[in-house]
Amino acid sequence: MTTELGNDLAALARDVRASTVAVHDTRGRGSGSGVIWDARGIIITNAHVVRGREAAVELADGRRFRAALVGRDENMDLAALRTEGVGDALPAADVRDSASLAPGEFVVAVGNPHGVPGAVASGLVHRCNARWVISDVRLAPGNSGGPLVDASGRIVGINSMIARGLALSVPSDAVVAFLRALRTGSRAA
């Protein structure tokens, strides 16, 4: 690996960490990661990370906030939270259309596996469909709900689970559809 490539990857990880949060279920039943989806305080995570009506969210800079559940889809394993008491704009992630992903593309996962904040893992896309972005990124407990990003740092998925040694991430297109359904009232919390 060249020094330039190493520096580029370190910068990518630093940028993605800024929009990655730690999410703690306030009932003490789990924790994982999340993504600041928009600057007004919408956080996307997995439904299996947040089981109650609220969560504690910790930003990369150490600030902590309460967040209320605004929507959940158990089938897609998605949950949307809204932070409370955030005065200034949050560092929202850039999002890419996951349908444009191709096998072999480089991807990076950022999250809090085993409680290690901002950990990074990388790999290649195996395939992408309407249900999953499948990659060989090595995920661990605590990565759930965190971002899967392309080489430009744009979100292409929300990390969900490992199956047969491969990472399964909810495609960004599914997250966009989930949020659209919440805005129109066709999906409840």
Within a domain: 106: yes
Report in angstroms the alpha-carbon separations of 17 from 47, 69, 130, 135: 21, 22, 26, 20
Within a domain: 40: yes
Region for 16 from its dihedrals, namely left if φ exceeds 0, alpha if ψ lies in -120 to 50, beta otherwise: alpha
Give the residue ranges of DSSP H helices in 72-138: none
Question: Closest Cα partner for 36 from 112, 118, 91, 97?
Answer: 91
Last residue of a domain, one of 84, 116, 150: 84
Task: Give me the catalytic one of 31, 33, 122, 144.
Answer: 144
Structural domains in the chain (count): 2
**Is 69 found in the same domain as 12?**
yes
Within a domain: 188: no
**Is 70 found in the same domain as 35?**
yes
Q: Give the pLDDT of the chain (189 residues) as one tens digit per residue.
A: 578 888 888 899 999 999 999 999 887 677 899 999 998 889 999 999 998 899 999 999 999 999 999 999 999 999 999 997 776 689 999 999 999 999 999 999 999 998 888 899 999 999 999 999 999 999 999 999 999 999 999 999 999 999 999 999 999 999 999 999 999 886 555
Burial of 91: CB neighbours in 10 Å, binned 0-12, 13-18, 19+: middle
Burial 117-150 (b: 16+ CB within 10 A, else e): bbbbbbbebeebeeebbbbebebeebbbbbbbbb
| Residue 144 among the catalytic residues | yes
pTM recorded for the entire structure? 0.93
| Residue 25 among the catalytic residues | no
**Is 15 found in the same domain as 70?**
yes
Task: Give me the catalytic one of 19, 33, 48, 169.
Answer: 48
For residue 9, the model assigns a pLDDT of: 87
Question: Closest Cα partner for 161 from 96, 109, 116?
Answer: 109
For residue 82, the model assigns a pLDDT of: 95
Last residue of a domain, one of 62, 84, 106: 84
For residue 151, the model assigns a pLDDT of: 95
**Is 134 found in the same domain as 65?**
no
Give me the domain span that covers residue 37: 3-84
| Residue 126 among the catalytic residues | no
Task: Give me the catalytic one of 73, 77, 150, 173.
Answer: 77
